[in-house]
Chains A and B, each alone.
Chain A
Amino acid sequence: MSDVGEKSTVEKVDPPDNAGGPLAGQEPVTTGPTSGARTPSGLRLDIRLTILIGVLIALCVVGYVSQPETFLSESNISTMLRLAAAIGVVSVGMTFVIISGGIDLSVGSMVALASVWMTTLATQSYGPFVMVVCALAVGVGAGLINGLLIAYGRLVPFIATLAMYASARGLAERLSGRSTQVVTQQGYLDFFRGDFLGIPVLIWMLALVFAVGWVLLNRTTFGRRTFAVGGNAEAARLAGINVKRHTAMVYAIAGLCCGIAALMVVARTTSGASTNGMFYELDAIAAVVIGGTLLSGGRGTLIGTLIGVLIFTVVNSIFTQNNLETDIQNIAKGVIIVVAVLLQYGTTRTRKT
């Protein structure tokens, strides 16, 4: 691992003390906002991440014990990952937004809009490639509108994305006439519902988005600037970062992720509808928070987010396979959010004192 201090100097984004830890670290979650000391990388033991992985493994054990024949079978694991794909990709975008100190309540609506726009008869008539381009363009466009409103229009992220939350779904309803638009382009379905090297394409896409997201967040100037903007926007500005442009780009990334998620949802359901992506914003925020990303920004990891998403997917699978009622499932989800956050909170506090 390279010397982080030197890197900061090179990038000319040397932040004030309170953002120093997260900005410089490769795994920013390991260093609290006020902790100046850096653990040597080789010995670093990420307690939060360990706890999260422990929770995930414990849930898998519960699943295995209750359904020994099916739960850890190849096809169930593949199904769980396919179901996690869309919300996982949305959560990547959400992680960027939250680390940068914002929030995006419109992700579910953007998924709905992109899924509807790419499956209108007009779009489908141009073939699969245009469908893909359309979904991505709609996602980036909607995200960019969010970003511009927040960065240059000075709207609070909560309000700007709440407006997009309402209007994007409204537009999706308008375009689709509120009907479910079935995909007739077999080529699209064959590719996105198919396998590549024995693994579903959807899972490859999820892995790819996470890999690209991880590199972008942890190995590039863009990522370090995201941490800096979220840690202390004023300090980041003084350090020479174009905070406004950066903010707009972060929301555009969230929109792009929604476009990719729309591709996945359309592939999974073989249709586009304005009802797609319901409650994605809540699921994504829950996964990001469980993953240890600070809601106030400046600190977070994508690995944590990924595990957060997987935890929810595994819980869903356990409940359905054991034929349990959905109401208990919702209660369990709430408990898991609280327990996961409390466990992490507990560890950081004990380390400080």
Chain B
Amino acid sequence: MTDPSLARRRFLFGASALGAGALVVGCTSNEPANAGNQQQVAGGGGDNAQPGKEVTIGFSAPAADHGWIAAITKNAQAQADAFEDVTLKATEGTNDVNQQIAQVETLLNSDVDVLVILPHDGKALTSAGQQAMDQGIPVINLDRIFDSPLAYRTWIGGDNYRMGVNAGNYIAEQMKAKNISNPVIGEVAGMDNLPLTQERSKGFKDALQRQGFRVGPRVAAQFTAETGEAQTANLLQGNRKLDALWNHDDDQGIGVLAAIEAVNRSEFIMVGGAGSKNMMNNIKSDSGVVKATVLYSPSMASTAISLARLLGQNKGVADFAEHEIPASITTYSAVVTKENVDDYMDIGFDS
């Protein structure tokens, strides 16, 4: 203890530990230097844009453990902020079905006019939606669909099957343009046990089959960059030559691209899925293998909030002859390529 060198060592150790700690604590900020409003909001809707009756919208979504769902939540908030007559009551996202049911019940008891629910599991949340509808609160079911149409007033969501179809058609078209008769077409899917992944893969397979092609090597990642990287690295090793690759999800696409860059492969074209800002920038610069992405855009959350407001104000959609909001809206999985990417940059989400 009295050894001066030991004391000095301890002091130096303590001081450096303190310094490292201070340094690290100062590194938690994630504010971009030029923070702007990057969220997507719907444009004006004729007379509908005029402020009307005050509407309180309850919003419940799963935990944003993924860039897409994070964008859903941010978009909903941004859209609500854009209306001066809308108050948004958003609950903390959860992946616990029981907790989400409890959250919906809490929202029901807090005087909301309309509910927007993106259920973690559509089946499990059906009764909660039904309960709200029974109490006269219209429910907008976002993306993951309830079991019964009685549990929602309007459903709005994406089209997983067509997403696969459009990816397949785009790839087939490119292969024909390049006169490749027997192409090796790879697929990096998302979580295989989710129905949405199965629908996407089925659409992809069906579209390719119609064009006389077939899906070659296929791996399934977990919608994360890390698993995307690991799966793709192995896929590339097993296939020395690819002609095309479809990756279901642009979040995991960051990892997929990292794996491709690590082995300097560029002989094939890659198509993404969902439509992140990052992927759109890659398409725009046209510097790598990414040539297109098929949309499954979280901008649907902004639309859902707009619809909820109109429902609360008893208005229809401008330009529609119907007096009522439609019961079901399916967004279209547009193929974003270099030619049209500028038109879609506004709905690209931060992964």
- B113 interfacial contact with A, CB 8 Å: no
Q: Which chain B residues border A83 with CB–CB below 8 Å?
A: 230, 233-234
Q: Contact at B29–A121, with CB atoms within 8 Å?
A: yes
Kindly report which residue of chain A lies nearest to residue B240, judged by CB atoms. A70
Q: Contact at A268–B226, with CB atoms within 8 Å?
A: yes
Q: How far is the CB of A5 from chain B (nearest CB, A)?
A: 30
Segment of A178-186, A235-243, A291-299, A303-311 in the binding face: A178-186
Kindly report which residue of chain A lies nearest to residue B217, judged by CB atoms. A323
**Interface core residue of B21, B223, B230 (most chain A CB under 10 Å):** B230
- B65 interfacial contact with A, CB 8 Å: yes
Q: Contact at B67–A179, with CB atoms within 8 Å?
A: yes
Known A182-B278, A270-B254; contact A265-B226, beta-carbon cutoff 8 A: yes
Q: Contact at A180–B67, with CB atoms within 8 Å?
A: yes
Kindly report which residue of chain A lies nearest to residue B215, judged by CB atoms. A323
- A273 interfacial contact with B, CB 8 Å: yes
Q: Which chain B residues border A277 with CB–CB below 8 Å?
A: 226
- B263 interfacial contact with A, CB 8 Å: yes
Q: Which chain B residues border A24 with CB–CB below 8 Å?
A: none
Q: Which chain A residues border B65 with CB–CB below 8 Å?
A: 173, 178, 274-275
- A33 interfacial contact with B, CB 8 Å: no
Q: How far is the CB of B276 from chain A (nearest CB, A)?
A: 9
- A67 interfacial contact with B, CB 8 Å: yes
Known A180-B67, A180-B351, A326-B192; contact A268-B258, beta-carbon cutoff 8 A: yes
Q: Which chain B residues border A80 with CB–CB below 8 Å?
A: 237
Known A177-B70, A268-B226; contact A134-B238, beta-carbon cutoff 8 A: no
Q: Contact at B231–A117, with CB atoms within 8 Å?
A: no
Q: Which chain B residues border A348 with CB–CB below 8 Å?
A: none
Known A134-B23, A175-B30; contact A79-B234, beta-carbon cutoff 8 A: yes
- B4 interfacial contact with A, CB 8 Å: no
Q: Contact at B278–A138, with CB atoms within 8 Å?
A: no
Known A82-B262, A265-B226, A273-B225; contact A137-B24, beta-carbon cutoff 8 A: yes
Q: How far is the CB of B145 from chain A (nearest CB, A)?
A: 24
- A39 interfacial contact with B, CB 8 Å: no
Q: Which chain B residues border A274 with CB–CB below 8 Å?
A: 65
Q: Contact at B224–A278, with CB atoms within 8 Å?
A: yes
- A163 interfacial contact with B, CB 8 Å: no
* Chain A proximity mask over B22-49: 1 for CB below 8 Å, otherwise 0: 0110111111110000000000000000
Q: Which chain B residues border A126 with CB–CB below 8 Å?
A: 27
- B91 interfacial contact with A, CB 8 Å: no
Q: How far is the CB of A260 from chain B (nearest CB, A)?
A: 15
Q: Which chain B residues border A244 with CB–CB below 8 Å?
A: none
- B235 interfacial contact with A, CB 8 Å: yes
Q: Which chain A residues border B26 with CB–CB below 8 Å?
A: 122
Give the contacts of A116-160 with B (CB-CB under 8 A).
Answer: 117-118, 120-123, 126, 130, 133-134, 137-138, 141
Q: Which chain B residues border A193 with CB–CB below 8 Å?
A: 261-262
Q: Which chain A residues border B24 with CB–CB below 8 Å?
A: 117, 133-134, 137-138, 141
Q: Which chain A residues border B275 with CB–CB below 8 Å?
A: none
Q: Contact at B29–A75, with CB atoms within 8 Å?
A: no
- A76 interfacial contact with B, CB 8 Å: yes
Segment of A88-96, A205-213, A313-321 in the binding face: A313-321
- A271 interfacial contact with B, CB 8 Å: yes
Known A82-B233, A122-B27, A134-B23; contact A178-B238, beta-carbon cutoff 8 A: no
Q: Contact at A275–B226, with CB atoms within 8 Å?
A: yes
Known A121-B30, A126-B27, A179-B351; contact A320-B238, beta-carbon cutoff 8 A: yes
Q: How far is the CB of B189 from chain A (nearest CB, A)?
A: 9
B interface residue count range (under 10 / 10 to 19 / 20 to 34 / 35 or more): 35 or more
- A31 interfacial contact with B, CB 8 Å: no
Q: Contact at B237–A70, with CB atoms within 8 Å?
A: yes
- B218 interfacial contact with A, CB 8 Å: yes
Q: How far apart sit A193 and B255, CA to CA, in the bound complex (Å)?
A: 13
Q: Contact at A179–B262, with CB atoms within 8 Å?
A: no
- A347 interfacial contact with B, CB 8 Å: no
Q: How far is the CB of A20 from chain B (nearest CB, A)?
A: 32
Pick the contact of B255: A123, A181, A269 (CB < 8 A).
A269
- A30 interfacial contact with B, CB 8 Å: no
Kindly report which residue of chain B lies nearest to residue A123, judged by CB atoms. B27
Known A120-B29, A173-B65; contact A180-B225, beta-carbon cutoff 8 A: yes
- B219 interfacial contact with A, CB 8 Å: yes
Q: Contact at B226–A321, with CB atoms within 8 Å?
A: no
- B350 interfacial contact with A, CB 8 Å: yes
- A69 interfacial contact with B, CB 8 Å: yes
Q: How far apart sit A134 and B19, CA to CA, in the bound complex (Å)?
A: 11
Q: How far apart sit A58 and B172, CA to CA, in the bound complex (Å)?
A: 40
Q: Which chain A residues border B238 with CB–CB below 8 Å?
A: 67, 70, 317, 320-323
Q: Which chain A residues border B226 with CB–CB below 8 Å?
A: 265, 268-269, 273, 275-278
Give the contacts of B187-234 with A (CB-CB under 8 A).
Answer: 192, 216-220, 222-231, 233-234
Q: How far is the CB of B23 from chain A (nearest CB, A)?
A: 7
- B66 interfacial contact with A, CB 8 Å: yes
Q: How far apart sit A82 and B259, CA to CA, in the bound complex (Å)?
A: 11
Q: How far is the CB of A251 from chain B (nearest CB, A)?
A: 16
Q: Which chain B residues border A100 with CB–CB below 8 Å?
A: none
- A226 interfacial contact with B, CB 8 Å: no
Q: Contact at B224–A316, with CB atoms within 8 Å?
A: no
Pick the contact of A320: B223, B228, B231 (CB < 8 A).
B231
Q: Which chain B residues border A327 with CB–CB below 8 Å?
A: 192
- B64 interfacial contact with A, CB 8 Å: yes
- A176 interfacial contact with B, CB 8 Å: yes
- B20 interfacial contact with A, CB 8 Å: yes
Q: Which chain B residues border A316 with CB–CB below 8 Å?
A: 230, 234
Besides A70-B238, A134-B23, 11 more A-B contacts (Cβ < 8 Å) are A73-B237, A122-B28, A141-B24, A178-B66, A180-B225, A268-B255, A269-B228, A275-B223, A275-B225, A276-B225, A317-B237
9 A-B pairs whose Cβ atoms sit less than 8 Å apart in the complex: A67-B238, A117-B28, A122-B31, A177-B30, A268-B226, A269-B226, A316-B230, A320-B238, A323-B216
Interface residues in chain B, defined as those with a beta carbon under 8 Å from any beta carbon in chain A: 20-21, 23-24, 26-33, 63-67, 69-70, 192, 216-220, 222-231, 233-238, 240, 251, 254-255, 257-259, 261-263, 278, 350-351
Shortest Cβ-Cβ A-B pairs, 7 listed:
A321-B238, A320-B234, A122-B29, A275-B224, A123-B27, A269-B225, A76-B237
